[in-house]
Amino acid sequence: MEKQIQSALISVYHKDGLAPVVKKLHEHGITIYSTGGTAAFIREQNIPVTTVESITSYPSILGGRVKTLHPKVFGGILARQTLAQDREDLVKYDIPQIDMVMVDLYPFGQTVASGASDEEAIEKIDIGGISLIRAAAKNYYDLLVISNQGQYRKFLRILEKKGPQTSLEERKIFAAEAFHISSHYDTLVFNWLNRENLVFAWKDSFSGGKKLRYGENPHQQGYFYGDFESLYTQLHGKEISYNNLLDIDAAESLVAEFNETVFAVLKHNNACGIAAREKLIEAWTDALAGDPVSAFGGILSTNVEVNAETAEGINKIFFEVIIAPGYTDEALKILEQKKNRIILIRKSFGFQSLIEKSALNGVLVQERDSKVEASSDLKTVTKRQPSEAEIRDLLFANKVVKHSKSNAIVLVKNQQLVGNGIGQTSRVDALKQAIAKADSFNLDLHGAVMASDAFFPFADSVELADKAGITTVIQPGGSVRDQESIDYCDNHNMSMVFTGIRHFKH
């Protein structure tokens, strides 16, 4: 059902891109109604415009808070044009019929993000604009609604292709986008007002969405909602998949913990290799040595620019994604030799303060685990004190185990991951897995340290670690049988520190 546009109400905050639209409307003889700054802008284009004030006989009042909130405006928008009674009301009350509404909203989100005061933020809560958008979207059978600056060009293409007329399907799509805009805006306002949890409710909204090739498996459809481009620039490679996104998130969360030069290799959201070294090539070499088998098809992440020497080493294996803050020109040429290889530049580490997970047809929400233990947080509970080198390894291992699936054990030596056991149903099994992995790659555990994401319920784990050559342990503590583990360490010249912080990850 094509509808002809004969009149349009335009009142926008963002005017970039508006000029060609209003010029095209004018070419087609469309009557334009407008307010304040938008009306002035349209006049500057030498286009006639009728002010809303001339329709309502009311000026803009209360410092601009009330401009369009009037029956003569909303009547023209909400009138059902096929209903005789509504048409009669328009004539009776001298209300102009409106066929199109073009409105965008005050930049509330940007205002809050800028650190503005509460008073400034409140003034950027749009009332008239959002009311116009909702009214026009509700009446999409008869009206077209343009609800944000990003739609100006899309609407202009319609005008250029077929003139001032739209199909029902087009109007419905614009209406759906309008309700998305309004609901997203309301969510921003609600979460700002409710930042002290005055109302026990959870709302979240993402304005960007993308259909992925598939979900976790090819028979599952997958989607990503978020602004990936604000965090990364993709320089090369195939389309990023659902599983790639999960691995990228895990890799970035881990690498962000380190200030020193590190290289990490992840697979299925867990580290299979990570090392810190002065030179990047050495960090890469030692990270790969931690588990060169699992590295196949993995995700690579580092916190320094990738140079040609390191790229040559990396290029010898198959991997899905590499993430870095930059690449030298020569390094990029090397890495681009594989056409499907995804190469990302990290713009910034950006993590939300809250994380959410669907469960039982609802949502679990919690604060991100942002605790990073320092040497001052370590409490030595054994007779033997760890050395400075051991403390450095303990803190390194504790960061890695924090980002490993529970139950998790991580073994580190000289700031290199030399073994890990992840996702096990018992802690001792996780340790057995870690030791077996180190042995399979001929990695010497004598003098290594062990990190556990939660307390040891029995002394069997420290006994097994001792027999493997491990000399120092970091764990949260808190078991009713902690003393058994402490006594074993004291009797075998091991050191153990408690952090008091558990790092479960499921």
Q: What 3-state class would DSSP assign to 404? A: coil
Q: Which two tokens stand for residue 190?
A: 């609600």
Q: Where does the pLDDT of residue 74 fall: very low under 50, low under 70, confident under 90, or very high at 90 and above?
A: confident
Q: Which two tokens stand for residue 133?
A: 């958008």
Return the amino acid letter for 78.
Answer: L
C-beta separation of 377 from 384 below 8 A: no
Q: Which two tokens stand for residue 505?
A: 């990850």
Q: Which one is catalytic: 236, 268, 405, 492?
A: 268
Question: Residue 11: enclosing H or E segment and its boundaries?
Answer: strand 7-11
pLDDT for position 69: 78
pLDDT for position 110: 86
- pLDDT score of 424 more than 80: yes
Q: Where does the pLDDT of residue 201 fall: very low under 50, low under 70, confident under 90, or very high at 90 and above?
A: confident
pLDDT (mean) for 362-368? 90
pLDDT (mean) for 72-98? 89
pTM higher than the cut 0.95:
no
Residue from 296, 305, 252 nearest 272 by CA: 296
Q: Which one is catalytic: 15, 138, 172, 184?
A: 138
- pLDDT score of 61 more than 80: no
For this structure, is 267 an active site residue? no
- pLDDT score of 390 more than 80: yes
Q: Where are the beta strands (DSSP E) in 348-421?
A: 354-359, 362-367, 379-380, 409-412, 417-421
Sign of CA dihedral 444, 446, 449, 452: positive
> What are the beta bridge partners of residue 60?
none
pLDDT (mean) for 153-166? 91
Most confident range (mean pLDDT) of 9-23, 36-50, 487-501 is 487-501
pLDDT for position 135: 94
pLDDT (mean) for 480-505? 96
Cα 353 to its chain centre, rounded Å, is 11
Q: For residues 325 and 57, which has the higher predicted lDDT (pLDDT)?
A: 325
pLDDT (mean) for 222-233? 91
pLDDT (mean) for 309-319? 96
For this structure, is 268 an active site residue? yes
